[in-house]
Amino acid sequence: MTLSVLSVASEAVPLVKTGGLADVAGALPAALAPHGVATTTLLPGYPAVLEKLGKAKEIHAWPSLLGEPARLLSGKLGAQPLLVLDAPGFYARTGGPYGDASGKDWADNWRRFAALGRAAADIAGGAVKRQAFDLVHAHDWQAAMACAYMRYAPFKGRRVPSVMTIHNMAFQGYYPAAIFPGLELPQEAWAIDGVESYGGVGFLKAGMQSAQAVTTVSPTYALEVRSAEFGMGLEGLVEAKGDRVRGILNGIDSAEWNPAHDPHIAAAYTARTLARRTANKRALETEMGLDSDDGPLFVVISRLTWQKGMDVLPEVLDHLVGNGARLALIGSGDSAIESALHAAAARQPGRIGVRIGYDEALSHRMQAGGDAILVPSRFEPCGLTQLYALAYGCVPVVSRTGGLADTVIDANPAALNAGVATGVQMNGVNYHALAAAITRTVALYRDPATWRQLQLNGMKCDFSWRQSGKAYAELYASLVAETT
């Protein structure tokens, strides 16, 4: 039996990406196909999406969708079916998916993403001819209202279950109570077990309340969000949901992230031809204006934010350089962190190379040319860069939290003895923890046999979507079975 799933997201590769959510929403449909799940993705019609969509067929129109005319276009996301919500009043803007070019959030984001949810609920309810679904899968707060609309304002038709996936609990889509009437929900939705949250409207909270199952993107994060430290105010709800909240680890797209066939890198390689990585290291040094030597080259590919521990990184760079190491970094985010990094690069010419911006191709070259990647996140729902690093023989140096704890085996004596270590973990994110992790990593690097073992162990790991695709398919099947 084939299950038809409507996946609702605010970004998906290859059409629009600001972070890991896009990687997951883009890759999951293909991962589900072998397990009898046919996925159609619903995305907002931002200019970038409409441009890449090309000529598309209109299959439905709303004279007013939360106040704006909208139409539904049908196209393809890779080989999988795609629906695009073309509502120019909401999405035809220059800037990013969530804000203007300066990074300031659009003031009407609540209405823009409520409309996405409303459209999803209408589609799931049978409003659009020849579009029938057994389940709706909503990703993050931007899609969360789909679950609430399905619960409170179902279009006439059958009721289907929904799954709410939390990619990051820190982003909840929290708005003042004054927006409630604009959501066009029945009054009963204004309730503690509805969309109300701490006196306002919480989109993610509403999705979690309304969905039949909630998933986080790693098992450890599913446990962590039960505590106040990680639950960000929703820990009580997580606890109340009990075993309806579970963690399913993200996979990586192993066609896109494979050093044997990566068009972005100078020299392709496999575990058997690891020595060829050196050509990539030399190329990266040149590209980033770094000295060329045989000392360890650390890389960072990250949003430059507190969550990612990037405020601590500049403080530790003199220590890193003092240990004979260098750093190549690509990232963007907080301007204070960007300035601190520029200052460190100016202080340590040839040792620290900083690129501010977003560059997908360079991120591949960093994974292929770097010896180790630093991921000192304070919390990390799953994290993808450490998974790409494992596949590329770039040793991950991570904090012991969330998906980082679930995917990297620390090179402690037991793991080294058993021959299973894949990286370095640190406890807590502060100067001392990061400096100690760097010292430990450099020492491991200076023992070539051990280092090679770490690289090979990482490259052997299978963090493709194979297992997680199956886990989602099983979850969908169980929810559909219990509602029919």
In the complex with ligand ADP, which residue's Cβ is closer, 12 or 124?
A: 12
In the range 385-414, which residues lie near ligand ADP by CB under 6 A?
385
Other CB atoms within a 10 A radius of the CB of residue 453 amount to: 18
- Counting contacts by CB under 6 A, is residue 338 touching ligand ADP? no
Exactly one of 383, 396, 458, 469 binds ligand ADP (CB under 6 A); that residue is 383
Q: How crowded is residue 101: how many other Cβ atoms within 10 Å of its Cβ?
A: 9
Binder to ligand ADP among 331, 353, 369, 376 (CB under 6 A)?
331
Encoded one letter per residue, x for contact with ligand ADP by CB under 6 A and - for no contact, window 14-53 reads -----xx--x------------------------------
Q: Rounded CA gap, 210 and 198, in Å? A: 17
| 231-243 CB burial, b ≥16 within 10 A, e <16 | bbebbebbeebee
**Cα separation, 205 vs 193, whole angstroms:** 9
Residue closer to ligand ADP (CB basis): 110 or 221: 221
Residue nearer to ligand ADP on the CB measure, 209 or 367? 367
Contact 370, 423 (CB under 8 A): no
Q: Which is nearer to ligand ADP, 161 or 353 (CB)?
A: 353
Closest to ligand ADP by CB, 143 or 479: 143
Least distance (Å) from ligand ADP to the CB of residue 398? 11
DSSP structural state of residue 47: H
Nearer CB in complex with ligand ADP: 451/463: 463
Residue 174 β-bridge partners: 202
**Nearest position to ligand ADP, beta carbon:** 20
Q: Which residue has the tokens 């109300």?
A: 196
352, burial (CB in 10 Å: exposed 0-12, middle 13-18, buried 19+):
buried
Task: Say how far apart CA 429 and CA 397 lie, in whole Å.
Answer: 12
- Minimum Å gap between C-beta 469 and ligand ADP is 18
**Interface with ligand ADP, residue 220, by CB under 6 A:** no
What would the two tokens of residue 232 be? 């960000």
Question: Could you give the CA distance from residue 297 to residue 302 in angstroms, rounded to a whole number?
Answer: 16
Instruction: Determine if 258 is a binding residue for ligand ADP (CB under 6 A).
Output: no
Residues 353-372 that bind ligand ADP (CB under 6 A): 358-360, 363
At closest approach, how far in Å is the CB of 400 from ligand ADP?
Answer: 16
DSSP at 154? P
Nearer to ligand ADP, 90 or 465 (CB): 465
Cα gap 215→27, rounded to integer Å: 17
For residue 425, give the 3-state DSSP assignment.
strand
Instruction: Give the x/- contact pattern for ligand ADP in 272-311, rule: CB under 6 A.
Output: -----------------------------xxx--------
Q: Single out the residue of 4, 254, 258, 332 in contact with ligand ADP (rule: CB under 6 A).
A: 332
Residue closer to ligand ADP, measured from CB, 210 or 386: 386
Report the C-alpha gap between 19 and 187 in whole angstroms. 35
CB of 198 to ligand ADP, least distance (A): 24
Q: Residue 172 interacts with ligand ADP (CB under 6 A)?
A: no
Q: Is the peptide bond before 14 cis (omega within 30 degrees of 0)?
A: yes
The residue behind tokens 């037991």 is 414
Task: Report the interface residues with ligand ADP, using CB under 6 A.
Answer: 19-20, 23, 301-303, 330-332, 358-360, 363, 382-385
